[in-house]
Structure 1
């Protein structure tokens, strides 16, 4: 089985505030379905209210990020699935629930993870 990252940036969710409870309910229903199917690994939303820090090998922290990830926000989940085709089906379910397109990325196989 392969692990897939399904995600979207916060800016992709252009949903009126009054619709957010329905979007939350729908997305949580998909996550519950993934858990019931035994394919859910982990998921959540990036807390944009807490600034990210860069941690060096010596443990020191600076208030910076990699340029490419400055705007890493939004929601994501990791599912363990038998094929890319099945991953596309789950991403489509989340796209419908969240009312925005989802990015789909595949993790490299690591026998220790």
Structure 2
């Protein structure tokens, strides 16, 4: 049920974490410049955007692929 609320598409911040140059580069926006297929995802429960960026950098470095950072909306209440 982690994904029940969906992504914060409208106003939520979006960052890209890329380590393919050998150095972590965090940029605003969801568009990673690559000709390669981007696939898969990781869900990390963190307290703030800085922690999310740090983990995105670690994941990007570990797998060798750029990653986007997005927030999930709160889970909707059951009726």
Task: Name the TM tier (shorter chain).
Answer: 0.3 to 0.5
Larger Rg: 1
TM-score (norm. length: structure 2): 0.46
Q: Which has the higher helix share?
A: 1
Q: Which has the higher strand share?
A: 1
